[in-house]
Amino acid sequence: MKREVIVKGLGRKYALTPTNVINDGGGEGAVYRIDAGRAMKIFHEPEKQKEKIGDLEKLFRLNGKNPWPGLASIATVPEYLATDIDRKTIGYVMQNLQGWRDLNRLYAEDSGVSLKGVLNIFAKLHRAISACHDAGFVIGDLNGSNVLISALGDDAEVRIIDTDGWGMDRPDLGVSHGPYALDPEAIHPLRLRATEMNLPLPPFTPKEDWWTFTYLLTKCLTNRDPFEDGAYEFWDVGGDVLSAEDRRMMGRAAMHSGIDLGPAEEYARHLRMGIPLKHIIKRWLSCALEGPFPFSLIEATMGEMILCPNCGEEIHGRLVICPVPRCGHFL
């Protein structure tokens, strides 16, 4: 069954068919391949996306061109609006990233990506998030599925997807609102606390994107969720072991004191990245520090990763003793 769609900026029609579908079951719309370099997102129920579609139309109308200048190299921003035969906007055209992997692949223990490789990819993601913020946007729905990488290696390119849900602060274009979606897996601790105490939710700000960046970085460096890894007993409530959500709300990550990580292999996961990065991650996850994650620390850690001369495992070069179990080599 064909569906005719008109792309305004390209001045042409496309006949969309099931054979062109890249993803038809995700979220709010289906994604179709329209040529080698472009894909088209068509909303399942445009009537329910009136506000979002209205903002997209307003941005294109007021700006007179793509309202995401300079961001196409780091995100799948809408390039053209797509309409039905009645000229009603029902979707948009964006980059086709078919074949790219999502960031969750780095979270797998068998990813084959070194710690240095993970840091390199996150350095690129850091630049991408910074560029989004500098252009007046916040992401909100930042998660391991909404960040794509072109390859599992140092030469990987990074793109952020689902950009139509970003929050915008663009007074020059007359548009200002928070993100349409917030990923529940990595929601900011202060937002969790507000929900727990029945307080008004704070306005979404860039600091929450940076908290999620730190959370994802930790997962990919340790192959563990920092709030599910280990056990933390909160004696003020009768010695109960806190849930992952409670620990997230309190900022009690795996690298905090009082967390029982169990076997030595689990300690090694958090020590291999080096003490400086481990310490800063702990402070960011507990909201003791906020704002852009220190890019210089990512660069420095990348440059200080070595292979242990005894066991051959990748570790931080400034460690005194190799933390890998059954090694313990003095460096």
Give the pLDDT confidence of 276-303 residue by residue, as tens digits: 999 999 999 999 988 899 999 999 999 9
Q: Is the pLDDT score of 107 beyond 70?
A: yes
Rounded to the nearest 5 degrees, what angle is found at the Cα of 27, between the Cα atoms of 40 and 173?
60
The tokens 């849930």 sit on which residue?
243
CB-CB contact of 242 with 248 (8 Å): no
Query: Which residues touch 248 (CB under 8 Å, ≥6 apart)?
Result: 187, 189, 192, 227
pLDDT over 80 at 81, yes or no: yes
The set of residues, in sequence order, having a beta carbon less than 8 Å from that of 319 and lying 6+ positions away, is 271, 274, 275, 331
Tell the CATH topology of 101-316: Transferase(Phosphotransferase); domain 1 (1.10.510)
Least confident of 104-113, 208-217, 312-321: 104-113
Q: Where are the domains of the chain?
A: 3-95, 101-316
pLDDT above 70: percentage of residues in the chain: 94
CA distance 31 to 100: 15
Which tokens belong to 159? 């793109």
Q: What is the pLDDT of residues 187-246, one digit of tens each?
A: 888 888 888 888 888 888 899 999 999 999 999 999 999 998 888 765 455 556 778 888
Read off the pLDDT of each residue in 45-55 and give the average, rounded to a whole number: 86
The C-alpha torsion from 135 through 141 and 142 to 146, rounded to 10°, is -100
